[in-house]
Amino acid sequence: MNLTFYGGAREVGGSSITVETGNGKIALDYGIKVEEGLRHDLPRDLDAVVVTHAHLDHSGNLLTLADTGIATIGSIATRDITSDLLLDLIKVHRLKGLPIPYTSRDVEKVYHAWIPQERVGLPGMEVNLCPAGHVMGARMVHLKAEGKNLLYTGDFCLHNTEILDGADICALPKEPDILIMESTYGGTCRPNRDELVNELLKNIIYAQERGGNILIPTFAFHRMQEMVRRIDLALEKGLLPRYNAYYLSGLAEKITAYFNDHTEFLGKMVQDDPAPFNYARVRYLRRAEQIRQPALVVCTAGFGHAGFSRKLLFDWISDEENSIIISCGYIPKESPLSWARDKEVIEENGEKFPVKASVKQIELSGHADQSELVEFVKRVQPRKTFLVHGDAQQAEALGELLGTLTEVAIPSKGEQFTV
C-alpha cells in the first residue's frame, strides 16, 4: 500500500493524501489552502475521494473533479454543507475579480456524485466512517485493504462542546497498522472548555464596561452557530449584561437554518430543543451599516481576511475602548487577525492603523489539544503514526512525546511511503 501526502504535511491547509493498493487508488480529503485558492497539483486518476468534513481545507478542491464523476464518500451533513461552502468559494472568487472556471452547476455535479453512506465497499477496500467531533458531520476514516487497517482522523476532538459530542474512541478500530493523525495543537495544551468560555464572558463584560464595540471574527460553519448560541444564552440568563448583539454573514444565516433543521447531526444536548439556533437576543443583520453601536458583533471571515470582519477590524482597531476577540486557535501568519494580535500598527490600502483596541485570543477550538492527541494514541495503539495537519513545530513536539508509544513519521509535502 502506498501513501502520498499532497498537502497538510508540515502545515495546516490543503489536506489531501492518496492511498494506492493493487486494486485502486483513493484520496483522503481534497482540500485547498483558503488563502491560495484552487490547485491543480492533486491527482485525478482516482476511484473515489473520502472527505472527512466540510471545511474547505479538506473539501475545497472537489470543484476541480466536478466533470470527472469520481464518487465522493462522506456524511450527509458534510455533503450538504460542502455544497454551500463551494458555492461561497465561487462567489468570493468573483467578488475579488479572480478567475474561476466553475459555476453552481459544478457544485450540483459534486453533490450528485456523493455517496452519503457511513460504510462503502470499493474494489479490494472497505471504507468506514466514525464520528470525529470537531464540526457537524465530521468523520474519521477507517480503511481496510490488503489485510491492513488504516485510520485517518481528519480534524477531531475528544472533548464535548456545547453543541457536539467529541469523538468516540470505543467506536474505532484497535491497534490499526497505520494511523494518520492531525497535529494542529501537537505542541500545545489548552485550559478546559469551561475555563475558556468563562474567560470569553469575562472579556466581553470588561469590554461592555468600557462601552466599546466588540468584534468576534469566526467561521460561517459551526463555530458561528456555536458562538452565537453561547452568547445568546449568556445574554438571556443574565451572565452577560444587555448589549446590542448581532451576527453578520449571509452564508452563516443559511447554514444556521440547516443546523435548526438537522439537530440529529449534533450532540444530544441540543436535540431536545426544536430550534436551538433561533436566537432571542442576538440579531442577524445583512449590512454593517445596520449596527447600532456600541455593539457586540460576531461575523465572518474567520481569519479577518475578508468580508465584514476585515472591514470592522480596521474600523474599530484604533479605538482603545474597543475589543477584538480571536476565538480560533490556528491563524495563518499573513492574516489581518495575526497582524492585529502581533503588531502595533497595521496597514490597509496604504493607510496605517495603530492597534489601540484590546486584542485577545481565547482558543475555543474544535481540535484536540496535545493531551487529547497523546491520550488518543495511548488508547488506539497504532503500530505506525503519521502526523499531518500541523505546523512543523507542533508536529515535531508531538512526535517527541509519542516516540515511545508508536513509530512516528512526519511527512513532507509530496513525500511517498510504502506501508
Spell out the long-range contacts of 18-21 with Cβ–Cβ below 8 A and sequence spacing 24 or more.
Answer: 18/43, 18/46, 19/143, 19/145, 19/150, 21/124, 21/125, 21/145, 21/146
Residues 53-92 that bind Zn ion (CB under 5 A): 55, 57
CB of 57 to Zn ion, least distance (A): 4
Q: How many other β-carbons are positioned within 10 Å of the β-carbon of residue 345?
A: 11
* Nearer CB in complex with Zn ion: 57/226: 57
> Measuring CA to CA, which residue among 274, 200, 271 is closest to residue 240?
200
Segment contacting Zn ion by CB under 5 A, of 50-58, 108-116, 231-239, 408-416: 50-58
CB of 134 to Zn ion, least distance (A): 6
* Nearer CB in complex with Zn ion: 122/326: 326
Angle, CA of 126, 129 and 135, to the nearest 5°: 155
CB of 154 to Zn ion, least distance (A): 7
* Site membership for Zn ion, residue 226 (CB under 5 A): no
Question: Rounded to an integer, what distance in angstroms lies between the CA atom of residue 398 and that of residue 167?
Answer: 20
CB of 261 to Zn ion, least distance (A): 22
* Nearer CB in complex with Zn ion: 20/155: 155
SS3 (DSSP) at 218: coil
Question: Rounded to an integer, what distance in angstroms lies between the CA atom of residue 4 and that of residue 418?
Answer: 9
* Nearer CB in complex with Zn ion: 285/368: 368
Residues 20-49 that bind Zn ion (CB under 5 A): none
* Nearer CB in complex with Zn ion: 57/106: 57
Segment contacting Zn ion by CB under 5 A, of 152-160, 172-180, 225-233, 409-417: 152-160
Q: Is 282 left (phi over 0), alpha (psi -120 to 50) or beta?
A: beta
Grid look-up 456600541 returns 294
Question: Rounded to an integer, what distance in angstroms lies between the CA atom of residue 409 and that of residue 338?
Answer: 30
* Nearer CB in complex with Zn ion: 142/222: 222
CB of 335 to Zn ion, least distance (A): 15
* Nearer CB in complex with Zn ion: 285/410: 410
* Nearer CB in complex with Zn ion: 12/357: 12
DSSP code for 147: T
Indicate which single residue of 155, 226, 232, 372 sits in contact with Zn ion (rule: CB under 5 A). 155
| Residues in contact with Zn ion, shown as a per-residue x/- string from 97 to 136 under the rule CB under 5 A | ----------------------------------------
Question: One-letter amino acid identity for 313?
Answer: L
Size of interface with Zn ion, in residues (CB under 5 A): 3
CB of 56 to Zn ion, least distance (A): 9
Longest CA span, the chain: 65
Strand partners, 295: 244
DSSP code for 2: E
CB of 389 to Zn ion, least distance (A): 6
CB of 359 to Zn ion, least distance (A): 24
Distances (CA, A) of 372 to 259, 298, 307, 319: 27, 28, 34, 39
Question: Rounded to an integer, what distance in angstroms lies between the CA atom of residue 74 and that of residue 55?
Answer: 13
* Nearer CB in complex with Zn ion: 132/270: 132
Grid cell locating 176: 490499526
| Residues in contact with Zn ion, shown as a per-residue x/- string from 360 to 389 under the rule CB under 5 A | ------------------------------
End-to-end distance of the chain based on CA atoms, in angstroms?
Answer: 6
CB of 60 to Zn ion, least distance (A): 11
Segment contacting Zn ion by CB under 5 A, of 95-103, 123-131, 148-156, 240-248: 148-156
Segment contacting Zn ion by CB under 5 A, of 40-48, 81-89, 150-158, 353-361: 150-158
* Nearer CB in complex with Zn ion: 16/406: 16
SS3 (DSSP) at 50: strand
CB 187 within 8 A of CB 393: yes
CB 4 within 8 A of CB 414: yes
Q: Which residues bind Zn ion (CB under 5 A)?
A: 55, 57, 155
